[in-house]
Structures are given as structure tokens and as C-alpha cells.
Amino acid sequence: MNRVVGATEGEARVLPYGSWPSPVDAALAAAHDGRPEYVGFVGDEVWWTAPRPAENGRRTLVRRRADGAQESVLPPPWNVRSRVVEYGGLPWAAAVRDGEVLVVFTHFADQRLYAHEPGSGGAPRPLTPVSTVGGGLRWAEPQLLLGRDEVWCVLEEFTGEGPGDVRRVLAAVPLDGSAADDRAAVRELTDERHRFVTGPRLTRDGRRAAWLAWDHPRMPWEGTEVLVADVTPDGALSAARVVAGGPRESVAQVDWAPAAAAAAAATAAGGPAGTAGEGVPPADDRLLYVSDRSGWWNLYRDHEPLCPRQEEFGGALWKLGLRWFAPLDDGLVAVVHGRGTTALGILDPQTGEVADAAGPWTEFAPTLAVRGDRVVAVAASPHSGYEVVETDARTGRTAVVGAAHHDPVDPAHCPEPRVRTFAGPGGRDVHAYVHPPRHPGVVGPDDELPPYVVWAHGGPTDRTPLVLDLEIAYFTSRGIGVAEVDYGGSTGYGREYRERLREQWGVVDVEDCAAVALALADEGLADRTRLAIRGGSAGGWTAAVSLIRGGVYACGTIRYPVLDLVEWATGGTHDFESHYLDSLVGPLDETPARYAERSPVEHADRITVPFLLMQGLDDVICPPAQCERFLHRLAERPVPHAYLTFAGEGHGFRQAATTVRALEAELSLYAQVFGLHPPGVPRLELAP
């Protein structure tokens, strides 16, 4: 029987796997790379940031006017993107002032904060100065306080040339532009007690602020603290105190519930509004936060769980300003929640019930905005890319309002993923999405099994979303299967699943990916001799270690990887992840042999199969020097490989031309190793 999904029996041509003609070319996949992010309301309008791969990979700011028309607020080369903690965060805020829109945003090129009045016809004007020290001054999570004529945000300031020479505080920037050339005009709101902070969330009367903080060696999904402070009449933060969280408790987001609704709920429960627990302000907005103290990221109000479930209402805080929940004026709370996949729901704190929005979406990104009964989110499904959707909190009716998905090709050429749970070593569960080859008019020969590529996601404390990805369709529509693995350590399945990777990075992730690959072969779904592995960043590490161990894959694709553990732990990466290995591998001073044993750069000469290595030359998270040392170690071995570098690319590829080159090179690698003949794909030259 022909092992393919989507072909019509009796009408299909029989062609070898990997050689099918496909309308999903690399340029098409590149044009649809990226997704909307950071939604917000500006008056009644919905705004968000959007990718522009064809415009040097910049991100623009899009507004949806009341009549439904969408337009870019800023022309090229303006790039609305922050570099705080390198992964960035919420880069814009806007409000209506005197009938006109005022927007503030971080421009990627110089990281300055700018103000812009779109209706004025003028150019954006800088609000913050340029610093030539190290990485300069950077800003994230801006919040407009028009009554104070300020914007409050997170300030990241480099104090030297090293990646660890940095401080982060909450700061107030004057809107009049007086700080554009004067660093002293920036008013700092906090001291340097904590290494990392998120932007402040204010009560509705502006009298209190709450934010998150954490310190090395913890990552935010390992342990954070919730701080609450009073806001004095002159705009200072006073009497900051820790009210929740700790070294072994991850709080992913904090906000406030409206006071009136909270008071009504407290009365209904039989108690007065002011009888809150320790750290909860009486007769005021109630504290809301997402904590994993139960083993799952659940929502709490005044330290009491609102909807205790074995599923996630939060996630890994890789970027500042991510939002998994948003309180509504009437006391309800919009929530992104789920186990593996996610849904958008409206939580009633009085009953603990969640009513999910109707629709086909299986993934909601951690960005939410509310206005009245309106909830705006970013959602996708296996049959649609990410789009901006709006839900009526009263009815649950949901509709697409921006970045609407339009099928660029016949959907029959796109994959139909299968949600699977495989058995890993010791019988442990390994979650994965399997995308078999699919073509509406072609099937593979009866006597042939398809090649498969295992995809290892980055992070590694992250997960794979169940969404349409044209990069996957690029392979599956040609007869190459893809299996995306949420290996042990991934988010979405509770803290215990995340903790599987503690001191086991390079072991559990590698074993779990191999378990999925071999299971597909054992089930007769994949060709055991034509398995490959692919990953970027932490996934690049998993791919590299997998090839070094050998025995499973015939080749691999390694993208902007971690390759040298010792250098990573001794100043060879950015500050945010500089102590990440303490939990992933173990402290360097306590486990030096483990670092040498697992580092791909120490064992590159063990690789015996072809591979493709790709690297952005501007990457400060995984610098190109690691790749160069890795290849130098390999120099004496005749292993076919290619090393592609991309100027102007950092950690992750954003430019359309880069994506095209990367996809075509990857397909050519598989074609040469697996004996495939995809039409129209440039040949990748492999050395030696």
C-alpha cells in the first residue's frame, strides 16, 4: 500500500519519495515566515507588530482601523523590536491624547525609544539617548502614563564591553524628549537588587505597582519573585516587598484584578473585600499571577487558585511582556491555557469555570489585549498560519480581524499532523507531532518507505506549536516526512516534564528524539536507513550531539547551535542565559568532566555522516566562533559537510533571502544523502 496522506486512489502518480513536484517552494515559505506579535488596543483600534521578511526581516507596527482597513504605521527602515535580554520583549505602547494617537516604540537599529504621532506627518522623535558602552541602552515593555507625561519601562544598560557588564532597572522616560541626549533625565524607579525585572503593572488608581524579578543562576521558568510597591504622589516606587514566588516557584506573569469585581466576589464568598492575605493590598485591586507551585502554571488571585488544573495557564518567559491572561473590567479573566496545545478561554473566578472561544485554532500565542468585552489574541491551527483574532467575552464568538490566513497553495499540499505520544527510555512519555508526506496527486512506491527528518525545537525550555508551517510543507509536499518532538524538558506538560532535562541536557533530549525516529521506523512509517535530524539554537545542540553519538541518523542540519559548553559558561554568550547550564548540565566548577564529555566541539571528530551547518554572523547568543572551532576539530576527517554563514542575521533567520538559501541547502543535503531527485533545487556543494 502507498504510504502517503492526501492522494486520491486511482488518480495518483507513483513517484519516489522526496522527488515529488511541489508548489511550495522556498520563496513561498520565506514569504510567510514569522507571525503577528504583541497585540494591543489603541482607542477602539487593534494594533500589533508584524514581520516583513522581504524588507530585511524588519518588524513593523500595524493598525486596524474601525472600518477594517489595515495599514503599517511605520515605513522602512523603522524596525519595532527590542533587544532587552537579546530575545526582546514588548516593544511598543500607544494611547489617544487630545484626540490624536501617540505611540512610543523601540527601534531595533539603535535601541532608542521613539515617540511618534502618526497623524502629524512628522518623523518619529527620539526619547532616549545613545550609549556607546557595550550593548548600549535598551528598552522594553513601555507603558504610557500620560498624567505624568512619562513612559515607564524596563531599562537594560550596559556598563562595560562584556556581555555580563549590564544592569536592569525600571525607569521613567519623559515624553517631552528631554532625555534624548541626557541620560541623567531618565528617572530610575528601582535599584539593582535584582538582575532581571519585568515591566511594572499598575493598579487602576495608579497607587501600586507589581512586577517580576529573578537572579542568576535561575531562569524565569525555574524561580521568580513577585514584587509589589507603593507609588508615591511624586511617581516613585516605595516599600517594595516580595509577596509571592521563590527559588523553586516560577511566576510567569503578574497583573491586577479590578477592585469592584474582586470586592463583589469576596462578598459572595462570605468575606469582606479587605480581608486579604499577606502582601495583598486591602480595599484595592487584587493581585493576579500565574504560578507553577502546584506543578502546573495555574492562575492565582490573592494567592488562592482560581482554576486548579493539570494544565498550563502560563509558559516560559523568554521575552518580556508575554501575556497568558488579561483581566476584564467585570472580573472575568481571558486566559490562554492547555496541555500541549492551547485554547483561549474566559475564566469566571467565582466558579472556576472556563468557557473556551469557538473556532478551529489549536495554538494561541502568549499575547492578549482586552477592552470592554473585547479580547484580542494571536492564533493558528494546523490549517492556518498565525492571525489576529477577536473574541466577544459574553458570547464566545471569535473572528479573524487581522493578518488573516489565505491559502497560498492548495491546502492538499500541506501536512496533516498527527498528535502522538511515544515511549522513550524507561517507558517515559515523549510527545510529538508527526507530519507524514502528503500530496494530492502523487504517492510513493509500494516497496518504498519515506525518509523522515526529526525536528528538535529550540529553548530547550520551550515547545512545538501545532500550527501550519510552510517550512514543514516544503518537505512533506515533496515526500519527506517531518516529526516535531517535544522532548523531555519541554514546556506545556507540567513542571515534572520540564525537570526531566535538569542536568540531563544532551542526554534526555537526544534519547527522546531518537526514540521517536526509531519508533516511526519500527511502525513501518519511515525508512530506517533514511532518517535525519534538524534543529536550531538548543535544537542545533541536540542535532549535533545526536550526530556525534551516531547510530540513528544518516545526516543532519545544525542551525545557529550551542556547541561549546565551557565557553558558554565562561562569558561566551549573553547575560540572560549565561548561567542556564547550571541547571541543564550542572555547575561548571562541580561537574567539569560533564562539560567536556557532552560538548560537541570536543567530539566533532566522531561524526561520520554528512551534515549542514548554518550560522548568522551577527549572533551574540551562539557566536560564530563556536562553529569555527567545531569545524576545525573536524578538519582531519573526510566527512561531507557544508558551512553556510549569513551576514546581517543574528540568532534565528529573519530575512527572506536567508530562509530561501537555508531551505534549498537543507533539501539538497537530504537529496544527496538519501538518493532523492527533487526538481529545481540548486545543488549544495559538500566538502571535502
- Whether 656 is covered by a domain: the verdict is yes
pLDDT averaged over every residue in the chain: 94
426 and 567 in a single domain? The answer is: yes
Gap between the Cα atoms of 104 and 96, Å rounded: 12
Predicted pLDDT of residue 218: 97
pLDDT, mean of residues 310-334: 97
Give the count of beta carbons closer than 10 Å to the beta carbon of residue 397. Answer: 12
108, pLDDT greater than 60:
yes
pLDDT band at 549 (very low <50, low <70, confident <90, very high): very high
Q: Could you give the angle at the alpha carbon of 316 between the alpha carbons of 311 and 321, nearest 5°?
A: 115
Q: Are 627 and 559 in contact (CB under 8 A)?
A: no
For residue 121, the model assigns a pLDDT of 85
Question: Which residue do the cell numbers 515605513 mark?
Answer: 75
Residues 335 and 425 in one domain: no
* 321 occurs within a structural domain: yes
Cα(180)–Cα(293) distance, rounded to whole angstroms? 43
Per DSSP (E only), the strands in 150-200 are 150-158, 166-174, 187-188, 196-197
Residue 114 lies in a domain: no
Instruction: Give me the number of domains the chain comprises.
Output: 2
> Alpha-carbon distance 665 to 659, whole Å?
10
Q: Are residues 348 and 430 in the same domain?
A: no
Same structural domain for residues 478 and 574?
yes
Q: What is the pLDDT of residues 637-657, one digit of tens each?
A: 889 999 999 999 999 999 999
pLDDT given at position 276: 35
Q: Is residue 181 part of a domain?
A: no
Domain membership of residue 112 (yes or no) is no
Domain housing 545? 409-674
For the segment 269-283, the average pLDDT, to the nearest whole number, is: 39
Nearest to 123 by CA among 141, 107, 143: 107
For 63-92, what is the mean pLDDT? Answer: 96
**What distances in angstroms separate CA 541 from CA 170, 414, 612, 641, one per listed residue?**
34, 28, 13, 17
Long-range CB contact pairs, 623-630, < 8 A, 24+ = 623/572, 623/573, 625/567, 625/572, 626/561, 626/562, 626/563, 626/564, 626/567, 626/572, 626/601, 627/561, 627/563, 629/563, 629/564, 629/601, 630/544, 630/563, 630/564, 630/600, 630/601, 630/604
Please tell me the predicted confidence (pLDDT) of residue 119.
Answer: 84
510 shares its domain with 644: yes
Residue 8's pLDDT band, with cuts at 50, 70 and 90, is low
> Above pLDDT 90, what percent of the chain?
92
**116 in any annotated domain:** no
Q: Among 356, 378, 395, where does a domain finish?
A: 356
Confidence band for 277, pLDDT divided at 50, 70 and 90: very low
pLDDT of residue 260: 58
